[in-house]
Structure 1
Amino acid sequence: DLSRFDWWKSRKIVVQRVIERGWVKDFYAAFNLYGGIEGFREIIKEVPSLSARDMNFVCVAFDLKKEELKCYTRKLLRDQLLDS
């Protein structure tokens, strides 16, 4: 039920889904909802998981470094734990 959906509380999952499955119009809607491209960029940094392909996309499209992404640092930590 979207009338009761908390868009701000669920912002990380909304941004993740837009990145993974969204059309251009979905990106523009998310920009409007979350404070423009800068607001969207800040939320991207907090998204807990993205595929390698999606991480590369957001780094190029939004001028981010992988090290700024929570999903990248979590992946590195997970890989370190599995290697030990």
Structure 2
Amino acid sequence: MLFPKIRKKLDVNIKDSLRCVSSHVGRNRYQVECRPSSQHVVDLVENSCSCRNWDLTGIPCMHALAVIHLKDEFLETYVQT
């Protein structure tokens, strides 16, 4: 169960993640491209993204959510408490 403010931020990030394309690049790392000039690396084990939003807030960014969706995993488990 998530607080409403966190749920709202996740919903915005989910909407933004729909335009991202993810690809596995090795071990637990994924490359996520949202625009031709915007590429980020997501590590689900470390709960980190090269955009640093997930690292700073504890809420998965749109890049991380694109990977979580690709792997068909439960996104609430990746929200840091």
TM-score by structure 2 length? Answer: 0.29
When you count strand as a share of all residues, which structure comes out higher? 2
When you count helix as a share of all residues, which structure comes out higher? 1
Q: Which has the larger radius of gyration?
A: 1
